Structure 1
Amino acid sequence: MFEQLTQLAQQFGVDSVVNNAAVPNEKNEAVIGEASNSVISGLQKIVADGGIDQLAGLFQGNNAKDASNPVVQQLTQQLSGNLGSKLGLDSGAASGVAASLIPQILGSLVGKAKDPNDSSFQISDIIGAISGGGDNSGIMDTISKYGGQFGLDQNGDGKVDVSDAMDLASKNGLGGVLGGLFGK
């Protein structure tokens, strides 16, 4: 999943990093890499700190691109700080890059995970990456494999995926669904 995140960061980094005079060209690759790292580590920290409801909120509607979303704010602040401390960017440039990149990356990530016609990001990959590949990584595989037998295939398409989770969440609340997956 890290490679796919890096590709998103590269895609959205053209304007906010590469074509940004405040970011020295020799730091472009490092800035894009730090953006990818910040998304994964930031989401892991949110889960570790018990922010399952915040994470669940990211997948509702189209608010993953919304700068006022608490997850977007937290990841933007984290990336901004990292760009300043690790790469020496001044605070204005670091804030500008982070404010541009994070909403675009998260919006695309969530959009792709929710799109049944786009297999580049699977919710199971996201959960695996966020959980650090630990005990939670096999949960989605098991749910996908046996979920239809337990009535989890909400839309009757023969597979259990994020669209089924969203349908189920509309009935039971997404926080409860993800909370159950993460054991919270």
Structure 2
Amino acid sequence: MKIAVVAANGKAGQLIVEEGLDRGMDITAIVRGENKTRANDAIIKDVFDIEKKDIEEYDVIVDAVGGWTPETVNIVPDAANHLAKLLKGSETRLLVVGGAGSLFVNEEHTQTVADVTPFPDEVIQVLNAHQKALDDLRDYDDVKWTYISPAGDFQADGERTGKYTLGGEELILNSQGESVISYADYAIAMIDEIESGSHIKERISVVSE
């Protein structure tokens, strides 16, 4: 299985690359500058310069693009859309590192985490960008996408426990009543989904045990 990780130099991207390599996967990093990952192969390109010919040989593309400021948040939905358009009608799967704000907090699926939580404006902008990426992906009938939402407390330097609980569209809590997961455990969940291919055209969520 050949995998390319877009924005592989980011904290999530690097851990996804490492987890895949540790399982013997063939992984290419797609990065804007020097490759800082363990991947032996790299494509040096901005996400928006990626062309269909660059990624058509891969079985899976991982979109780990992030944006955290008012000036950069739009890169999140824009990158997901750019990659989805390149993959329309192909067998290559697109797995997206998502956000938690779009997870539902009621059975009727009428309220999300972002709707009921008093986040600062700058955080709301990030949550809205991830929500738009998910909404846009749902419109692609001919793309094999999977959107993976982390828990609400997504810890970049959190412990790798090797365990997580898989959820769906609703916010779920762990045995301690918390919504938390480390980037390292999220990477495990991402690679597990790549291996299984169990949730095509679905959003799933993960939380630490």
What TM-score results when the alignment is normalised by the length of structure 2?
0.29
Which fold has the larger relative contact order, with Cα–Cα distance below 8 Å and residues 6 or more apart in sequence?
Answer: 1
Structure with higher strand content: 2
Structure with higher helix content: 1
What TM-score results when the alignment is normalised by the length of structure 1?
0.31
The structure whose Rg is larger is 1
